[in-house]
């Protein structure tokens, strides 16, 4: 019988077995093989890690920024050298295709590259002679210990929205990966272990809700970065704020796309299919609702139905597979229940992806691409984040009606428009209430040197992950006003 490994934490520069009494199985969602067990580290361990990180901060912040980023240059090199192995691990535990996993890691590498520019990004500003003999300047200094609470859907990318910037700015860091997919961060920390960083600068602790609550309560942790559902984002943000911590909390989404009659049908169909069904719909920028305007209805409906029917679903490590699994049996059940709810609310199941039989992987957590046609715009299915490979279709008469429909949503993560009209594009990006806008783009994912935006119940906080805003989040400003003697000779 195969022995299943219990994953260690990485604390103070070394691997350390948790004293946790509870563990969870890490399951390959395609094969149902148990890959490992993850410990649910207790609050006492988190508090010990925070104490270690605080002690390390006192010396790390004195390390010149040019020295701090040298570790990131080396990390970038190691990530590139090990990209294939890391991608295979993501696919094993997360269920997405290998191509999607490789793309995810490329985004991680790009964030490391941008964080290597922190010596420029961290600069303040100064002004001489604000009064006679008095100068004033603003400088940026690190916060201290910061924590990252990561989700399951991008285990190799999302921690990199935050921690390269955090440590480059002089903070020390604690990462808690999702208990559903902790193996990827285990391998990333295997690379971090080769960097020669001072012990305690960056730490990994596995766990569940008790560990999260300990992060929220620990007074030595000054800032929290979170990505997950809106309900949990609200919880993390409110608890963090109540305890005087900075927080940036990315929540859920219901990303719409408008298709105007003048849109390029072939391009639009391909892009929306990739957006709706890529990563099995388990991403915060997945297109969830397609809104056709005027004569676009029938042609787009026929085209997207054909794209959904022909998408190849299977084990993510197999060649030619275009879509993998959802993350768990619970997710599969929830998604299939929402499909049925859409039907009960008056929608038509145009393409039904429930309960597919994937040869060789009959027990896997698969759902094929699904299309719900003519859903009720006021129904629950039009408002709920499905987080699965389900695209809902709505038809409206004008773009103004579509924008009004989009703006009534509680979410504001992303909205997209497909058109050849520059005037329509400008109206759309000006009026739509969403933080990430795509024009003839289906996944408007910002590059690493732009912030990953989000409005309304899709984001709680002021500063987002990535780029300059990450630098601002992980630093605090200090304004210095100083007077020097005007008679320089008196100094000697």
* Residues with a known catalytic role: 284
d(CA 115, CA 168): 7
Q: Tell me the β-bridge partners of 126.
A: 137
Residues 6+ apart with CB under 8 A from 128: 135
**7: helix, coil or strand?**
coil
Contact assessment for residue 135 and residue 129, using Cβ atoms and an 8 Å cutoff: yes
Inter-CA distances, 452 with 103, 177, 445, Å: 17, 19, 7
Of 84, 94, 96, residue with least CA distance to 26: 94
Structure tokens at 234: 């609200």
According to DSSP, the β-strands at 221-227 and 145-149 are parallel
Q: Provide the 10 A C-beta neighbour count for residue 28.
A: 21
Of 426, 432, 433, residue with least CA distance to 455: 433
According to DSSP, the β-strands at 221-227 and 246-250 are parallel
Place of tokens 């009659």: 261
Kindly state the greatest CA–CA separation across the chain.
88
d(CA 426, CA 99): 33
CA-only gyration radius of the chain, Å: 24
Of 408, 414, 413, residue with least CA distance to 459: 413
Q: Tell me the β-bridge partners of 433.
A: none
**394: helix, coil or strand?**
strand
Q: Tell me the β-bridge partners of 453.
A: none
Of 439, 454, 476, residue with least CA distance to 161: 454
d(CA 283, CA 228): 10
Of 209, 215, 211, residue with least CA distance to 231: 209
Residues 6+ apart with CB under 8 A from 61: 141, 142, 170, 171
């Amino acid at each position: 019988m195969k022995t299943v490994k219990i994953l260690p934490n990485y604390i103070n520069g070394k691997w350390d077995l948790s004293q946790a009494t509870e563990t969870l199985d890490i399951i390959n969602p395609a094969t149902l093989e148990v890959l490992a067990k993850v410990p649910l580290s207790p609050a006492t361990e988190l508090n010990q890690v925070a104490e270690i990180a605080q002690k390390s901060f006192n010396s790390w912040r004195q390390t010149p920024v040019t020295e701090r980023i040298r570790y990131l240059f080396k990390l970038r090199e190691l990530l590139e050298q090990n990209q294939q192995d890391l991608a295979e691990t993501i696919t094993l535990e997360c269920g997405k295709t290998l191509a999607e996993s490789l793309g995810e890691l490329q985004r991680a590498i790009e964030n490391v590259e941008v964080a290597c520019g922190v010596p420029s990004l961290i600069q303040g500003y100064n002004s001489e002679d604000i009064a006679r003999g008095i100068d004033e300047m603003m400088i940026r200094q690190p916060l201290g210990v910061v924590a990252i609470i990561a989700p399951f859907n991008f285990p190799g990318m999302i921690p990199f929205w935050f921690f390269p910037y955090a440590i480059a700015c002089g903070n020390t860091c604690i990462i808690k990966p999702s208990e559903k997919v902790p193996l990827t961060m285990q391998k990333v920390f295997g690379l971090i272990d080769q960097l020669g960083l001072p012990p305690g600068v960056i730490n990994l602790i596995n766990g569940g809700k008790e560990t999260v609550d300990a992060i929220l309560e620990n007074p030595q942790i000054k800032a929290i970065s979170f990505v997950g559902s809106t309900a949990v984002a609200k919880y993390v943000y409110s608890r963090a704020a109540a305890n005087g911590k900075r927080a940036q909390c990315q929540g859920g989404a219901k990303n719409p796309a408008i298709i105007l009659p003048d849109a390029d049908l072939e391009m639009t169909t391909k892009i929306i299919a990739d957006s709706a069904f890529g990563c099995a719909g388990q991403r915060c920028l997945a297109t969830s609702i397609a809104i056709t305007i005027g004569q676009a209805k029938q042609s787009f409906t026929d085209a997207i139905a054909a794209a959904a029917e022909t998408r190849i679903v299977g084990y993510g490590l197999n060649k030619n597979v275009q879509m993998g699994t959802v993350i768990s049996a619970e997710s599969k059940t929830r998604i299939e229940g929402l499909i049925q709810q859409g039907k009960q609310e008056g929608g038509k199941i145009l393409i039904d992806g429930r309960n597919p039989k994937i040869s060789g992987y009959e027990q896997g957590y698969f759902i094929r691409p699904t299309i719900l046609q003519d859903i009720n715009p006021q129904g629950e299915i039009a408002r709920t984040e499905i987080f699965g490979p389900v695209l809902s279709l709505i038809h409206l008469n004008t773009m103004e009606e579509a924008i009004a429909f989009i703006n009534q949503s509680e979410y504001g993560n992303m909205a997209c428009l497909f058109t050849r009209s520059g005037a329509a594009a400008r109206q759309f990006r000006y009026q739509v209430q969403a933080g990430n806008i795509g024009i003839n783009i289906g996944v408007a994912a910002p590059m690493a040197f732009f912030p990953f935006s989000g409005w309304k119940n899709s984001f709680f906080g002021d500063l987002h992950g990535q780029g300059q805003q990450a630098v601002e989040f992980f630093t605090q400003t200090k304004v210095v006003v100083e007077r020097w003697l005007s008679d320089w000779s008196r100094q000697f």
